[in-house]
A and B are shown apart, each in its own frame.
Chain A
Amino acid sequence: MTLDFFALTLLIPLLSGILLSFAGERHWAPHLNIIASAATFLSAAGLTAEIIDQGPRFAFGEQFFIDSMNVFFVTLTAFVGMTTAIFSDPYMKNDRSHGKLTPARLRLYKSMYQLFMCTMLVALTTNNLGILWVAMEAATLTTVLLVSLYRSPASLEAAWKYFILCGVGIAQALFGTILLYFAAERILGESGTALLWSHLVEVKGQLDPTIMALAFIFLLVGYGTKVGLAPMHNWLPDAHAEGPTPVSAVLSGLLLNVALYAILRCKVLADGALHTDFAGNLMMGFGIFTLLAAAFFLGRQRDVKRMFAYSSIEHMGIITFAFGMGGPVASFAGFLHMTMHSLVKSAIFFAVGHAAQKCGTQIMEDIRGLKRINPLIGWGLMLGTLAILGMPPFGVFASEFMILTHAMKFHPWATPFLLLGLGVAFASILAKVQPMVFGESEAKPLPHAPAITPVFVHLGLALMMGLWIPPYLSRWFLEAARMLG
C-alpha cells in the first residue's frame, strides 16, 4: 500500500499549517484551509476504514499506533476540524469586514489552526506518553495566540490565564509522566520502550502501585486542568469567551476530548497497577464536583460563549464521571457522550458565533429574536441547546440515559448529584437561550452569508445517534470501551 493514510493524516495539517503561515493572506488561503481540513478528514476516514479492516497498527516504529479507541477520536477530530474550517471561512471574513482582524492575524489564525489540528492528531495517535505530553503542550501553545487573536484587553487576559494555568497544569502532568516512567523503567528497563503505551499496558499489572497512584494524581490534576475539571477549570470560560468562535468550537469540541483521552490512557495503566477503583473514584469525584460547580456557574452568565464554555465544563464532568464508573456500559456511554458533546457543542458555537456577529455582541441580554433575523441560525441554536441539555431524541440524551441508569445501578449515591447538576444546568441555559432565539429583533444582515450547513450536519448526526447508533459505530465504541476495561 503506497498511500499511507496515517502519515497523510498527520502531514496534511502540518504542511498546510506551514504553508499557510507564509501565504495565509492570499485570496485562496481560506479555500486551502478548508481543502486541507477536508483532506485530513478524508485520510482519517481512510485510516478508519483501514483499521476496521485490518485491526490496530503501528507507525513510525512503535512511536505511533492506532487502535479502535483513538481512531475514533481521530475521525471525530478531523470531522469537526473540517466543519469548523467551513464555518470559519465566512465568520472570519465577517470579522475582517467589521475591522476586528487584520490580514496578518488571519494568516496567523489559519496557520495555527492547522498546526493545532496536527498537534491534536499527534496527541491522539502517539504511542509514547512523553510525546503525548509534548503534543498536549504544543496544542496549548498553538491555541494561545488564537485566543488572543483580537488583541483586546479581555482576550489578552484570557490568553494569559490560559497559558499560565494550562502550562502549570501540563507541568504537573509531566511530573506524573516522569513518575510513570520511573515506575515503568524498573520493569521495562531503560530502553526507549518504557514510555510506550503498548508496552506499558502489557506489564501494567507489575507497575508499582504506590508510584502509579501518585503518578495518576499528577496526571489527573495536570491533564484535568486541560479537560476543565473543577476547580482547575478557570482558564476555560475565559479562553472560550474571548477567542474567536471557531477556536471556541474546536477547544470545546476537540481539545477537551483529547485531554480526557490522555487521562483515559493513563487510567488504564493505573487501574492495571492498582487493582482498585482508586482512579475511577477520583474521576467520579472530580466529575461530580465539576458537574455541580459548572451547573451553578451557568445561572450567572451574561456572555453567551462563556455560558456555553461552562456547559462544556459541565459535560466534561459528566463524561469524567462516566469513565470513572468504568465498565463497558459506562465507558460506552462516555464515548458516546464525548462524540455527542463534540458535535453538538461545536454546532452551538457555530450558531452562537453567527448570532453574536449579527447582533454585534456576545451579551445575551442584547441578543434577541434570532429566529426572526435568521430562522436557521435561530433554530440551530435552539435545537443545539436543547440537544446539549439532554433532550431526546438527540444523542446526548442517549448517553445521559445510559450514564444515569448505570449510576443508579452501581453508584446510587451519585444519582441525586447528577440530577441536581443536570436540572440546574437545564434551568439556567434554557432561561438564557430561549429569549435569544425567540422574540423580536432588528439586526442587519451580514456582509458574508453564514455557513449554516455545519450546524445542521452536526445536529443531524446527533439526532441520528439518539435514535439509531449505526452498528459499526457501536461496535467501535464497544471495543474502545472494552480496552478501557
Chain B
Amino acid sequence: MSQAVPLYAQLINLLAAVILLLGFAMLAQRRVIQLIDLFALQGFALFLSTLVVAVKTGQHHLFYSAGLTLVLKVILLPWILHRLVRKLHIKGEVEGLINIPTTTLIGLGLVIIAFNVATPISQLSSTITRGTLGIALATVMLAFLMMITRKKAITQVVGFLAMENGLFLAATSATYGMPMVVELGIALDVLVGMVILGVFFFQIRDQFDSLDIHHMEQLKE
C-alpha cells in the first residue's frame, strides 16, 4: 500500500480533501453570497475530480458527467442562486440556530463518524480512490448539518445542493460513475428541482415577505 500512489489517485484524493474543506468552509460561512461562491468552488473541485477519473478510466460517460457538473453546478446553479439573491434582496448575515464554532465542532464529529462508517467499505474497494467514499459521506453529512442549522430558505437550498455534490463525488470517484441514464436523470432532477425552487422562492416571498424559514413554523401537531 505504501508504494507509490499514482498521480491521478493523489489528485483525486487531494480534490476530495478540498471538497471536504469547502464543505467546512460553507458550514462556517456567514454571508449568503460567499456561501454561493463556495458552493460554486466545491462544484468546480467536483468537476476536476470527475475529469481526472474520466481521463484515467477513459469512460465516455464520465466526460459527460464532468461536463454536466461544470455546466450545472459551477455555472448554472450558482448563477440562478445569485440572481435569486439579487432579485429577492436577500442581504446580510446568515443567522444560524447554533453558533458557528459549535457547528464546526459537531461537523468534526460527523467527519469522524463518516470515516469510520466508510472504512470497512473502502477496504473492499478495488478502486484506488476508495478513500473518497468516506469523504463523500462526510460531505453529505456536513451539508445535512448546514441545512439543519441555518435559518434562511436559500441556505437550506445551498445545503441541499452541497449534499448533491457529496453524492456525486461518491458516484464518480468511488465507483467511477453510475450508468449514464442514471446520471442524466439525477442531473435533470436537480435542475428541475432548482427551477421549482426558484418559483417557490417567489411564492414564499409573496406570502411571507421574507425567506426566513421561521415564518414557516405554523403547521404543528
Q: Enumerate chain A interface residues (CB-CB to B < 8 A).
A: 63, 128, 130-131, 133-134, 137-138, 141, 144-145, 148, 151-154, 156-161, 163-164, 167-168, 171-172, 174-175, 178-179, 181-182, 185-186, 190, 192, 194-195, 208, 210-211, 214, 237-238, 241-242, 297, 300-302, 306
Say which residue of A128, A210, A301 sits within 8 Å of B124 (CB atoms). Answer: A210
Give the distance in Å from the alpha carbon of A101 to the alpha carbon of B58 in the complex. Answer: 53
Given known A131-B185, A156-B216, contact A181–B178 (CB-CB < 8 A): yes
Give bound CA distance, A157 to B210, whole Å: 13
Contacts of A131 in B (CB 8 A): 181-182, 185
B residues engaging A (CB < 8 A)? 59, 117, 120-121, 124-126, 133, 136-137, 140, 144, 147, 153, 156, 160, 163-164, 167, 170-171, 174-176, 178-182, 185-186, 188-189, 192-193, 196-197, 199-200, 203-204, 206-208, 213, 215-219, 221
CA separation between A214 and B114, bound complex, in Å?
Answer: 12
A134 interface neighbour in B140, B144, B170, B185, Cβ under 8 Å: B185
Q: Are B189 and A210 interface neighbours, CB within 8 A?
A: no
Chain A: which residue is nearest B157 at the CB level?
A164
13 contacts between A and B (CB under 8 A): A133-B185, A144-B200, A148-B203, A152-B207, A153-B207, A156-B203, A157-B217, A192-B179, A195-B178, A210-B121, A237-B219, A238-B219, A306-B221
A179 touches B200 (CB 8 A): no
| B133 smallest CB distance to A (angstroms) | 7
Contact flag A190-B216 (CB < 8 Å), given A128-B182, A164-B147, A214-B121: no
A178 to B133, CA, bound (A): 10
Contacts of A158 in B (CB 8 A): 219
Q: What is the distance, in angstroms, from B113's C-beta to the closest C-beta of chain A?
A: 12
Q: Quick one: given A63-B181, A156-B207, A242-B219, are A137 and B121 in contact (CB under 8 Å)?
A: no
Give the residue of A141, A151, A179, A302 whose beta carbon is less than 8 angstroms from that of B196: A141
- Decide: A141 and B216 in contact? CB cutoff 8 A: no
Question: Residue B178 contacts which of A138, A153, A178 (CB distance < 8 angstroms)?
Answer: A178
Chain A residue at minimal CB-CB distance from B183? A130
Task: Evaluate contact between A214 and B117: CB separation under 8 angstroms.
Answer: yes
- Closest-by-CB residue of B relative to A302 is B221
A134 in contact with B186 given A148-B203, A160-B153, A211-B121 (CB within 8 Å) = yes
Q: What's the nearest-Cβ distance from chain B to residue A120, in Å? A: 15
Pair A186/B140 contact, Cβ less than 8 Å: no
Secondary structure at chain A's binding surface: helix, strand, loop or mixed?
helix
Of chain A, the residue at the smallest CB distance from B169 is A178
Complex Cα distance, B89 from A193, in Å, reads 48
Q: A134-B189, A156-B204, A171-B140 are in contact. List 4 more A-B contacts (CB 8 A).
A: A134-B185, A157-B216, A171-B160, A210-B120
Q: Is the CB of A182 within 8 A of B125?
A: yes
A-side contacts of B206, CB under 8 Å:
151
Residues of A within 8 A of B133 (CB): 182
> Which residues of chain A are within 8 angstroms of B208 by Cβ–Cβ distance?
153, 156
A128–B179 CB distance below 8 A: yes
- Distance (whole angstroms) from the CB of B155 to the closest CB of chain A: 11
Q: Min CB distance, A258 to chain B, in Å?
A: 16
The reply to whether B189 and A137 contact each other, CB–CB distance below 8 Å, is yes
Contact A175 B124 (CB under 8 A): no
For the complex of A and B, the 3 pairs showing the least CB-CB separation, nearest first, are A130-B182, A134-B185, A157-B216
Q: Within the assembled complex, what's the spacing in Å between the Cα atoms of A343 and B11?
A: 55
- Tell me if B189 and A168 are in contact (CB < 8 A): no
**Is there an interface contact between A134 and B188, defined as CB atoms closer than 8 Å?**
yes
Q: Which residues of B contact A300 (CB under 8 A)?
A: 221
A167 to B192, CA, bound (A): 12
The answer to whether B218 touches A154 (Cβ under 8 A) is yes
* Residues of chain B with a CB closer than 8 A to A167's CB: 160, 193
Q: How far is the CA of A195 from the CA of B183 in the complex (A)?
A: 12
Query: For the complex, what is the distance from the CA of A214 to the CA of B189, rounded to whole Å?
Result: 25
| Shortest distance between the CB of A109 and any CB in chain B (Å) | 15
Chain B residues with CB under 8 Å of A153's CB are 207-208, 215-216, 218
Would A297 and B221 be within 8 Å (CB), given that A130-B185, A163-B197 are in contact? yes
Contact pick for B137, options A144, A156, A163, A175, CB 8 Å: A175
Residues of chain A with a CB closer than 8 A to B124's CB: 186, 208, 210-211
Contacts of B204 in A (CB 8 A): 156, 160
- With a cutoff of 8 Å between Cβ atoms, the chain B residues found around residue A168 in the complex are 144, 147, 160, 163
Instruction: Report whether A175 and B179 are in contact in the complex, using a CB–CB cutoff of 8 Å.
Output: no
> B179 contacts A195, CB within 8 Å?
yes
B109 to chain A, nearest CB (A): 19
Inter-subunit contact A151/B163 (CB<8 Å): no
A141 to B125, CA, bound (A): 34
Once the chains bind, are B175 and A185 in contact (CB under 8 Å)?
yes
Q: How far in angstroms is the closest Cβ of chain B from A67? A: 21
Tell me how far the C-beta of A380 lies from the nearest C-beta in chain B, rounded to whole angstroms: 26
- In the assembled complex, the Cα of A119 lies from the Cα of B140 at a distance in Å of 26
Contacts of A157 in B (CB 8 A): 215-219
Q: Closest approach, in angstroms, between the C-beta of A351 and any C-beta of chain B?
A: 23
Chain A residue with minimal CB distance to B175?
A: A182
In the complex, what residues of A have CB within 8 A of residue B203's CB? 148, 151, 156
- Interface centre among B181, B199, B208, by most chain A C-beta atoms within 10 angstroms, is B181
Q: Are A128 and B221 in contact (CB under 8 A)?
A: no
A164 to B87, CA, bound (A): 22
- Across the interface, do A178 and B156 meet the contact criterion of CB distance under 8 Å? no
- Complex Cα–Cα for A175 and B138 (A): 12
Contacts of B121 in A (CB 8 A): 179, 182, 210-211, 214
Contact B163 A171 (CB under 8 A): yes
Chain B's closest residue to A210 (CB) is: B120
Q: Which residue of B lies closest to A148 (CB)?
A: B203
Q: Are A145 and B196 in contact (CB under 8 A)?
A: yes
B219 and A195 contacting across the interface, CB-CB below 8 Å? no
Is the pair B160, A164 in contact by a Cβ cutoff of 8 Å? Answer: yes
Residues of B within 8 A of A182 (CB): 121, 125, 133, 174-175
Which residues on A sit within 8 Å (CB–CB) of B120? 210
